């Protein structure tokens, strides 16, 4: 049986960020509450297929990176290496830091923080067949080639062009051999590692994994504003509708509290949790007259559950109120009630659950709607409260990370629930998501290490395809 090769993510953070026009290199700029490099490290830290992380940085910023690693308790970061003047110097630093050729090296730009697990996992899978792997997306704009007079010399066919991204991935032996040959060339110059393999090992095929438009590189000041917005909209796709393998190990005997558990998604979460062996408590206005807008009621039931069980591991709030009506026609009492249930209720649950979840390093889960990305006509109050929940989740995940509390948000597609029927009437079932699928995604999220994420749940799986290129 073949042994899995150790996979090491090499985060290249040696750039100065001169084009950004700031004194501090771009990888240390803050976006969405964290330094860009922190976002990037965390993607690889959480990925189950990454065994180790090496960070390459200029000498004067090594102490800054060490501080980041310690403060965030990144356990996979094993090496912090000196970078060089050129990008390839940083790559060489990582190559030389390892002795064995029986490892995979994934070179990734520190300033591409929106790389996702799908890209990383596809790269690792491709390395089982190929010795070199690149990531790219289709070129959407026409690419023009200029002559020395700044006039168009050539327009290559767009269907033959791709826009390269990272990670760029290699068996160590292959990338080392390519650089050994390159360094013997007095005319050697390159901007990326795949270019070195392509030029000096022309018979070595480089497989290309499909990238993502969102996997952008921060280069200019304007990119910081765009990146911040993308982080706001960043989601994780969950469309397999199957329980993760860890659920059966983790959930039995854990104590789960569900607010809004009498019908719809909440009811399915309660049922599934109990079927999987959790101790589940369900509360709602219709079930036991609990009002999430009353913090004292929440405080009382959580205290009682803790005294009875000695712990609380998971707290979920699905309570919500949708009033489909234009704002100018809504009564003030309806507006206030909607805001109180949809947003203030969530805040109450979070605040009262904090002390209990801190003790267990537990998980807090809320629900948003696809309308959070853009306010919709007839949904002004509902849409705005759902957007507020996303922002709350992102903020609390950072505030409470040091306490071990995970805070996430489920974003389900249009779902077959009594609340939807009340507002939209009877719709074809094949156009709506089954609430059981949302419950599965909810349970998977509760037991995961995710925090600060918006998890999309959809009816139809998104199929990704790979591209093949540079096979010479």
Both tokens assigned to 348? 């109450």
H helix or E strand, kind and range, residue 111: none
State how far the Cα of 227 lies from the Cα of 32, in Å rounded to an integer: 8
Task: Give the pLDDT band of residue 471 (cuts 50, 70, 90).
Answer: very low
Residue 336 has pLDDT above 50, yes or no: yes
- Helix (H), strand (E), coil (C) string for 114-183: CCCHHHHHHHHHHCCCCCEEEEEEECCCCCCEECCCCCEEECCCHHHCEEEEEEEEEEHHHHHHHHHHHC
Q: Give all domains of the chain, ordered by start, each with its CATH number.
A: 6-229 (3.90.550.10), 237-457 (3.40.50.720)
Question: In 254-367, where does DSSP find H-type helix?
Answer: 264-275, 285-288, 295-309, 332-339, 345-360
Predicted confidence (pLDDT) per residue in 114-145, tens digit: 999 999 999 999 999 999 999 999 988 888 98
Token pair 């921060």 in the structure block, residue = 218
State how far the alpha carbon of 458 is from the alpha carbons of 47, 72, 75, 218, 390, in Å: 22, 32, 33, 30, 18
Query: What are phi and psi for residue 57, nearest 5 degrees?
Result: -145, 155
Report the percentage of the chain scoring pLDDT > 70: 90
Of 206, 269, 193, 144, the residue nearest 466 (C-alpha) = 206
pLDDT band of residue 164 (cuts 50, 70, 90) is very high
DSSP designation for 341: I
Report pLDDT for 252: 94
pLDDT by residue (tens digit) across 345-386?
999 999 999 999 999 999 999 999 877 777 778 889 989 999
Q: What is the mean pLDDT of residues 149-178?
A: 94
Average pLDDT over residues 207-212: 96
Please choose, from the candidates 80, 115, 289, the residue with its C-alpha nearest in 3D space to the C-alpha of residue 210: 115
Q: What is the mean pLDDT of residues 320-324?
A: 85
Q: Does position 463 have pLDDT exceeding 50, yes or no?
A: no
- Predicted confidence at residue 462, as pLDDT, reads 39
Mean pLDDT over 274-279 rounds to 96
Kindly tell me if the per-residue pLDDT of 421 is higher than 70: no
The answer to whether 77 touches 69, Cβ cutoff 8 Å, is: yes
How many other C-beta atoms can be found within 10 angstroms of the C-beta atom of residue 15? 21
Residue 322: which pLDDT band, with cuts at 50, 70 and 90?
confident
130: tokens are: 């190929």
Q: pLDDT category, 11, cuts 50, 70, 90?
A: very high
Closest CA to 404 of 369, 366, 364, 350: 364
The residue among 199, 155, 153 whose CA lies nearest residue 175 is 199
**Residue 240 pLDDT level (bands cut at 50, 70, 90):** low
What's residue 38's pLDDT?
Answer: 95
Give the span between the Cα atoms of 38 and 26, in whole angstroms: 12
Rounded distance between C-alpha atoms, residue 449 and residue 405, angstroms: 10
Task: Write out the H or E segment, with its range, that includes residue 328.
Answer: none
Q: Which two tokens stand for residue 392?
A: 């709350």
Q: What is the pLDDT of residue 469?
A: 38
Cα-trace Rg, the chain:
25
Rounded Cα–Cα distance for residues 198 and 295 (Å):
63
CB 440 within 8 A of CB 241: yes
pLDDT grade for 9, boundaries at 50, 70 and 90: very high
Tens of pLDDT, residues 75-119: 999 999 999 888 899 999 999 999 999 999 999 999 999 999 999
- Quickly tell me which residue has 């267990």 as its tokens: 360
pTM of the model: 0.69
pLDDT value at residue 179: 97
- Cα–Cα dist 334/293, whole Å: 14
Using the predicted structure, report yes or no on whether residue 295 has a pLDDT greater than 50.
yes
Residue 328's contacts (CB-CB under 8 Å, 6 or more residues apart) are: none
Report strand pairing: 52-57 vs 132-138: unpaired
Q: What is the pLDDT of residue 434?
A: 82
Q: Is the pLDDT of residue 301 over 50?
A: yes
pLDDT tens digits, 422-462: 666 776 777 777 888 889 999 999 998 888 888 888 875 43
Query: Which ranges of 9-86 does DSSP label H, i.e. alpha helix?
Result: 36-46, 62-72
Q: Give me the pLDDT at residue 1, please.
A: 40
pLDDT at 464 over 90: no
What gap in Å lies between CA 453 and CA 235, rounded to an integer?
Answer: 6
Find the Cα–Cα–Cα–Cα dihedral 107, 112, 114, 117, rounded to 10°.
0
Looking at every residue in the chain, the average pLDDT score rounds to 88
């Amino acid at each position: 049986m073949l042994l899995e090769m150790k996979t090491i993510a090499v985060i290249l953070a040696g750039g100065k960020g001169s084009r950004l026009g700031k004194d501090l290199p771009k990888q240390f700029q803050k976006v969405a509450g964290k330094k860009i490099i922190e976002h990037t490290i965390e993607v690889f830290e959480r990925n189950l297929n990454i065994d180790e992380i090496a960070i390459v940085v200029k000498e004067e910023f090594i102490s800054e990176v060490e501080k980041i690693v310690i403060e965030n308790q990144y356990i996979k970061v094993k090496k912090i290496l000196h970078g060089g003047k050129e990008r390839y110097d940083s790559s060489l630093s990582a190559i030389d830091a390892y002795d064995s050729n029986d490892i995979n090296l994934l070179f990734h730009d520190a300033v591409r923080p929106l790389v996702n697990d799908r890209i990383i996992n596809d790269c690792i899978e491709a390395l089982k067949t190929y010795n070199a792997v690149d990531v790219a997306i289709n070129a959407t704009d026409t690419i023009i080639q200029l002559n020395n007079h700044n006039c168009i010399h050539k327009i290559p066919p767009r269907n033959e062009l791709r826009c390269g991204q990272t990670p760029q991935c290699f068996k160590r032996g292959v990338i080392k051999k390519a650089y050994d040959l390159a360094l013997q060339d007095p005319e050697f110059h390159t901007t990326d590692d795949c270019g070195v393999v392509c030029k000096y090992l022309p018979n070595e095929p480089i497989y290309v994994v499909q990238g993502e438009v969102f996997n952008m590189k921060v280069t200019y000041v304007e990119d910081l504003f765009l990146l911040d917005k993308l982080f706001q909209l960043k989601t994780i796709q969950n469309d397999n509708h199957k329980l993760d393998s860890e659920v059966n190990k983790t959930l039995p005997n854990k104590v789960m509290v569900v607010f809004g558990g009498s019908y719809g998604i909440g009811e399915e979460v309660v049922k599934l949790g109990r079927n999987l062996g959790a101790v589940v408590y369900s509360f709602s206005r219709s079930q036991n007259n609990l009002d999430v807008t009353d913090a004292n009621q929440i405080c009382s039931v959580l205290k009682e559950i803790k005294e009875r069980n000695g712990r609380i591991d998971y707290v979920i709030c699905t309570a919500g109120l949708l009033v489909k009506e234009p704002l100018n026609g809504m009564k003030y009492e309806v507006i206030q009630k909607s805001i109180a249930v949809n947003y203030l209720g969530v805040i109450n649950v979070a605040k009262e659950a904090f002390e209990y979840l801190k003790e267990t390093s537990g998980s807090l889960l809320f629900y948003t709607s696809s309308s959070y990305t853009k306010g919709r006509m007839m949904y002004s109050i509902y849409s705005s409260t759902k957007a507020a929940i996303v922002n709350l989740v992102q903020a609390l995940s950072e505030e409470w990370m040091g306490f071990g509390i995970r805070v996430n948000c489920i974003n389900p597609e249009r779902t077959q629930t009594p609340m939807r029927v009340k507002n939209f009437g009877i719709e074809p079932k094949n156009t709506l998501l089954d609430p059981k699928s949302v419950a599965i995604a909810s349970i998977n999220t509760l037991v995961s290490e995710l925090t600060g994420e918006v998890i999309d749940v959809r009816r139809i799986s998104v199929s990704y395809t790979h591209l093949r290129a540079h096979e010479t």
